[in-house]
Structure formats: structure tokens, C-alpha cells
Structure 1
Amino acid sequence: MLVAGVWDAERAPAPPPPGQTAASGRLPGEVLCGRGGSGRLPGSSPPAVKDPTAVERANLLNMAKLSIKGLIESALSFGRTLDSDYPPLQQFFVVMEHCLKHGLKVRKSFLSYNKTIWGPLELVEKLYPEAEEIAASVRDLPGLKTPLGRARAWLRLALMQKKMADYLRCLIIQRDLLSEFYEYHALMMEEEGAVIVGLLVGLNVIDANLCVKGEDLDSQVGVIDFSMYLKNEDDIGSKERNVQIAAILDQKNYVEELNRQLNSTVSSLHARVDSLEKSNTKLIEELAIAKNNIIKLQEENHQLRSENTLILMKTQHHLEVTKVDVEAELQTYRHSRQGLDEMYNEARRQLREESQLRQDIENELMVQVSMKHEIELAMKLLEKDIHEKQDTLIGLRQQLDEVKAINIEMYQKLQVSDDAMKEKNEIVSRLEDKTNQITATMKQLEQSDKDLLTQTRTIAMSFVKCASNEAQHQYKLVKDISF
């Protein structure tokens, strides 16, 4: 039976394990117990009870695998763009809706309690900037009134954009944000969610043309049609081992792809760190050059100040000498007024030139002082920029350490998966050894039965030769026994 669109693991018949036939329900070489026996080998423990939530996650993962595989195979054989009426595409959206609904927390609204998948999907636009356009398009659709309808429209638009796997990958990475919407045992919080996101990458080969605007997405009833995925029981027993191996290989390929992406991210971060270190070195060199220029300008300023002082002293001395000469000439040429006036005008002109020269030197000194202030301000700005670049470099190194830690964790998980595979192979080899031992025992019993029959015939023939012709009834009895 179905509970929220998921098989009930306790009532539904489970597929036989690898090597077990669907008709007999036992392993090859297993000794059948007598009437009323348990059918288990002596000393074996009863099967452990599975967690219902784990069974639900496994069932949803299997349904997602079947739905995605069937959709890709049918779409490739279909040979054209898919539309909304294509049955495998409709079943894919139903299965994805059930996967996203698994483990949702009940949120209390103003009038009632509800569970909706629009909340976590709406969170994608904050984590992935390219998803802002699709979220805005969903909000602008006029026919959608419920959050479930918006979520269904979002899934269809994401499939048409071929970005569904990228959007959901950004969502499952932020588990601290997902914990606000999902329980701790939900599919999106466990490894099954990552496996489903990895399977969604294969949908990028499909071209879909879906009309979302005119479709009634609020009132649709999402029911999984299991008749599209059910297979014959005889094929299940022979293909179960291949399915398990394929699932393990899919997980391995997903881990390798994720590791490749992490390596590319690490290499890009290394390149960025190298570029920042180069720019930092270049800025340090520019700062050293600027400091040298400032020192040179300060030396030139000091030299100009000394030259200005020397010029002022020479001017004052020249003025004093000029004054003495003027007084002497005034006393000497007091009677020649014209010569005195010319001498006076010449001295006045020289005084004006010296004053103008002094004013020019003072203006140049002011310009040098303003240039010094501008250079000091430029030094402060350069130091501030260098501190900001150093902070950015420290943050990038921290991100690099976090990425390395994630890579190590994924490698440990891969080692655990390989160890589990080795244990399963050892169990299979032990079962094969037990089967060979039982077969050898049966052959020995058959050989002993043949030897006993041969001895019985030999004894009977010897008894017949020794018997007399009068005991015909005894001979007849021995003949019946021997043959």
C-alpha cells in the first residue's frame, strides 16, 4: 500500500537478494528444513527491523532513479521536444514533488497548519543569483494562487532552463538553512538528496517546451503511476545484483565528479591567491617608490628653503649697500637734481625687482608645501588599500582550508563505501564455499548408495547359486529382493 506516495516497506513484497531465485525464495544450496522449520541456517540471527524513514528515503530514491532513467530513455527515443502532456514528464514532476515534500516541517499560518515546498525553493534565489529571474517569473504568473502551484511552475521553468541540478545543489549544500524547513531525517538533509541531485544532471540532454502560463497547477493531484515502472518478478531476481552495482558505480561517479569540481575550485583559488600576492608585491614596490619620491621631494624642499634664505640675505645686504650708496650720492650730488633723480629711480626699480623675486620664491615654496601634503595623503590611501588586500588574502586562505577539509571528508566517505563493497564480496565467497561443500557431500552420499546396491546384488547372486532346485519359492523371493 501507499503512504504519501511511498511504498509501505512492511506490506509490499521485497525483491529477492542477489543469487536467490524468485520462485523458491531461498539461496542456492540452502538445506530445506522439515515441516514447520524456520528455513534459516542454525545459529543465524533474525533480520533487524529497518527505520521507516530510511525505507521511505530509499523508496523515493529508487522512484527518482526509475523516473529520470525512463524519462531520458523515452525522450531520446521520442526524438523531439517534450511538452506538458508527455506522461513520463508528468510522472517525473510528481516524483520530484514527493521527494521535496519528504520530511517538511509543519508551519503554522494565521488560519491553519500547512506544509509547502515553495519555501525552500524560494531560498534558491538568495544562494544562486541566476535564479532571481526564474523566481520573479513565477511570482508574476497571474493564474497561480497557492505556494504549491508556484513550486510546480518553478520546477518546470528550471527544467526548461536546464539548471534544476545546479539550483538544488546550491540548496542542499546549505543544510543550516534547510533545517528551518525540513526535519533532520528528511530526504533533502541526507545523502539520498545529493544522489538525486547528481542524477538530475542527466536531464540536461532533454529539450522541454512547457506552457506554464495557461496550465492549472494549483489544483493538480500528484499521484505516482507505478504501472510505468513495475517489472516482471522473474527479471527482478536476475537483475538485482546489476542494479546494486550500478547504484554503487553511480555514487562513485558522483563522488569523482564532485571531487573534480572541488579540485577545479581549489586550483582557481590558488590562482587567485597567486594573483593577489603578485598585486600585493607590486603595491609594496609602488609604495617604496612613492616613499623614495617623498624623500627626494623633502630634500628638494629643504634645498629650496636654504636657497630662499640665502637669496633673502643677499637681498637685504644689497638693500643696505644701496641705501648707503644713495645717502652718499644724495650728499655728494645734492646740487645736481637730475642725476640724483635718475639714481633714485634706478634704486627703486632694483628694489621692485628684488621684491618681485622674493614674492615668486615664496609662491614656489607654498606650491612645494601643498605637493608635500598631497603626497602624504596618497601614502595614507596606499597603506589603507594594502591593508584591505591583506584582509582579503586572509579570507581566501580560510576558504581554501575549508575546501581542503571538505575534500578530505569526501575521500573518507569513498573509503568507507569501498570497505562495505569488500565485505559484501567476502560474504558471497563464503556462501559459494558452503554451496561447494554441500554439493560434495551429496556426491559422496550418492556414491555410497551405489556401492551398497552393488554389494546387495552380489550377495543375492551368491545365495541363488547355493540354493537347491526344490526351494523355488525361496529363489523367487531372493530374485524379487535383488531386482
Structure 2
Amino acid sequence: MDEHAVERSNLLNTAKLAIKSLIETSMASGITSVDDSNDQLRQFFVVMEHVLQHGIKQKRSNILGQKRSFFAVAEAMERYVAGSGETLLSVRNMPSIRTSLGRARAWLRLVVMQKKLGDFARELVDRRDVIEECYEDYAFLASDDASVISGMLLGLSVLDCNLDIRREDLDNLSAVIDFSRFLKEGNYLTRSGQERSGSPSAGAGESTMSQGDLSQLLDQKAYLEEMNTKLTTSVDDLQSRLSIAQKCNDKLQAELDQTASRMNTISEKHEQFVNTSSDQHAGLGKKLEEVKKDIDAERQTYESARQGLNEMYTAVQKQLETEIKMREELEREIELQRSMKGESETAMQLMETAVHEKQDTITSLRRQLDDVKKANLAVNERLQTSEETGKAKTSQLDMLTISHTRLTADSERLQTQVTALDQRSTAAEDTLQQLSTRYADLEVKKASADADLVIERQWRSSVQTELEQERTKLQVANGELEQLRVIKTQFVELQRKYADLQELCSGQEQTLVELGSRLQLSKQEAEDMRERSDQLKQSAWADDKQVTSCRQCGQGFSVARRKHHCRQCGMIYCNACSDNQMVLAASSKPVRVCDHCYTLLLQPTKSS
């Protein structure tokens, strides 16, 4: 056996003794609550520290020279053990602890107070990957003996530990095991040896057996009570969650009602906007028709003036023809603007029918408006050129009048026609100026209409975004409502399970009461048996070599008639005189007794 095997064996025996002495001492005294003053508890912490620290891997690059403690193992098991994160966080936040070993000791005491050390040890033994990562191959927890200690640690749930960690100097605490406690008279090693040898010590074996059964029953009761408290806390937690979920549901329902009312108001505003936009479109159509009629009338007057000018002057006729061409181009541009206006109206209708294509329509309309603006600029430039040509024409007319005055001798009729022509040209210029002013007014009206259209589009886009947000909120509320329904069904199922567990717990409590009563009866019977055994004559175990005949019938022993010891008095009898079987205080199974001892042992039972 190597050195590490010896260490593991010593740790196993010491841990067994520490756990047994702590539990059985507390159960024997009847006080299940222990504190810092209990020496057994202190030695238990020292032993568990050696067990958890045995064979732990150390970091290679440790500049400060501090050894690695089993607190790193607790941190590695944080994701596997439920509720260990809060314990580790509270240990890290302790200002009085500065070293890793001190934090490990504080963690060990907190886990014992929370009755979770057994669960942690069992989970750690099952996690071989964590053990391989944190411990060497020769470590105690890496061996099969660790499962024995993890099973024994579950019995600590019967104890209530009340410790004040802040008073102790856990960084400089002495970790020396006091083996003198386990070497005193009547300790557990001697007791276990007597049980293995099967010596006829009647009183000690029976009391140990009854006390062990009582401690087992108390452990089961404490475990059931702890499970009941856990279930109660879980049900309370679920009830609080359900109340919070109901509050959230009511809040979401109120928000849903508000959203529905907002959607109704938005739909009403949308209808009003559609009606006002249709009215505006109708008014703009009427205005455009009136402008068209005015332009037609002015065109007719202009054509009549142009015919008179063609009759008088051929040069003026050519210039007027160019002006007519320019006017026709202007009319074409106006018709283009009308067509673009119609296209914008159709785009507005499409925008009302298909909301999802609104952005594309808006971009196209913006492009069309830019083109219209460019066309308007071009028209203005052409109007300016036409005004310049009109001024040139007036200058030419002035020159013609001057030449006409010089040629007054030619014809007075020509003079009167020239004056009439001047008057007509001034009238045409006035009409042209009026047309330009009306066109400017129309441009101003069109700009205001375009601004109103942009505002309307922006308002519609904002309304659409608000509508999308309300829809998303409605979807989220529906999802949360479904989750609440699922939680409600789970809560009903948990209530049913809680009722079943309550019934099971009540049945188990009744069973424990019955077992306690049976235990009392068995204890009384054991005391009666002990009294009867004391009354019998205790003899030494007879030697086979000295006895040659049966003590009762006197017949000699041979190969056919063999010797048999009575397990009560120790004398030697033949098979016929010792064929009785009976359970004694020093044994748990029926053993051979002689007829005399059998009669003495059965007398009190028959009389009772």
C-alpha cells in the first residue's frame, strides 16, 4: 500500500468518526441545534477541510506563493448545484476575509448551516470532469471512498447549525485534528469491533441498535420536514409569480384598451383627412377649369390681335408667329403640368388604397415635383425672353412710328392704321402682363398646395408608424397573455402535486408515529430480555477438551453424538438437549440454547 492509499484510508476513518460523533452526540443529548461552542462541530470542520483539500491541484505560475484552496472547487460547481451562486456571492462580499482558504472555510460553514453539504458532495462525486480538473489522481475525492462520505453527510440535515462567521479569524484558523477524542474509552472504534466479534455483551449491542433505529427515524422525519418546507416555499414563490403575472395581465389589458381607443381615433382622423383631401382635390379641379377658360379667352383675343398685326406688317407677323410658337410651347408645358398634376392625384389615390407602397409613391411624387419645379423655372425663363422680345418689338414699333412720321407724305390712312396698331400692341402687351400675373398667382397657389400635400404625407407617415407600434405592442401583449395562461396551467398542476405531497406527508407522519410506538414496545421488550438474561447464571465458555459427556442427559460424546455450546450459559450439550432456537440480546438472529435456558427465558413471556 502506497503513501496516498494510507492517507485516504486515514481520512476515511477520521471523517466517519467525526460525522458519527457529531450526529450521535447531538441526538443522544436531545439537542439538535449546535453553535460555535460545540467541539465536535469544530473538529468536523477541520476534518472536512482536510478531506476537501486533499490532492487538490496547485497553479504552476503562482507568484505570491499562496496555495489553492477548495473554494475553487465550489466555484467550479456553481453551475451544477442549485442556489450555490448566492452563497458564493455572500462569501466574496465578506470584508473580513482576505485569503482563499478563509473564503473556503466561510463557504463550508455557510453550506452546513443551509444543510446543503450532503447534496454538494453527492453532486461533486458524480461530476468526474470537475474532479479531474481540480484534483490529482491520488486525491480522496477521486477515489471510491468519497461516495461513502457523501452518503454520510446527508445525515447532517437533522442538525441546525447556528454559527457567527464574522467573529472567527478564518484566515489564521488552526486546522489540526484532535485524535484524542476518538481514542477514549467507549469510543466508536471499540464499539464497532465488539459488534464484529459477536461477543455476548447484551446491553451495549441492544442499546446501540435501538438508538441507531431512533436516529434513522428522526433523520427520515427531518428529511420529510425539510422537503415539506421546500415545497411550501416553492408554492409561495409560484403564487407570488402568479400574482405578479395577473397584475401584468391587467396592465396589458388596460394598455390594449387604450391602444384600441387610439386606433379608433386614428381611423376617424384618417377618414376626416380623406374627406378633406377629396374636397381639396375637387376645389383644385374647379380652379384649374376656371384658369383654363381664362387662358382660352385670352388666347382668342391674342389670335385676333395677331391677325390684325399680320395684315399691317409682315415683319411684325413673323415676330408674332414666333411668339405664337412660344405660346404653344408654353401651353404644352402647362398641359404637361396638368398631366403631372393628374398623375399626382392618381398617386394619392393609390397611396390611399395601398398603404404599404406609400414610400415608393412619395419618392416618385417628389421626383415629379422636382421636374415640375424645373419646368416652372424653364417657363419663367421663357417668359423673360418673351418680355425681352416684346421690348424689342416695342422698340421696333417706335422705330416704325418714327419712320412712319417721316413718311407722313405717303399716306394718312397708313398713319391711322399705325396708331391703331400701336393701340392694339399695347393692349396685347397688357393682356400678356395680366396673363403673367395670373400665372404667377397660380404658381403661388400650386406651391401652397404642394406644401399642404407634404404636410399631409408627413402626418400620414407618422400615423402609420404609430399604428405599427401599436400593432407590435398588441402582439407582445398577446404573447405575454399566452405565457400567463401556460403559467396558470402549471400553477394548477403544482397545486395538485402539492396536495398529493401533503397527503403523502401526512401518511408518512402517521407511519412515523406508529413506528415510534412500535419502537417503544420493542425497547420495553429488550429491557425485559435484559432483566431475564441478568437473572440467569452467567458461566464461562466451556472448553471442548475438558467435557466428555452431555451436561443434561449424561451420555458420552462420539462421532455420531457431537458437542454443542449453549449460546446463553456456555455449557456443552448434545443435539437432543440443545435443539432450541431463540433470539438473544447479544445477537440479531436465532441461536442455539439448551432446554434449561430455553425454559427460563420463556417463563416471563408466558406469564405475561
| Shorter-chain TM-score tier | 0.3 to 0.5
TM-score normalised per structure 1: 0.43
TM-score normalised per structure 2: 0.35
Q: Which has the higher contact order (CA 8 A, sep 6+)?
A: 1
Larger radius of gyration: 2
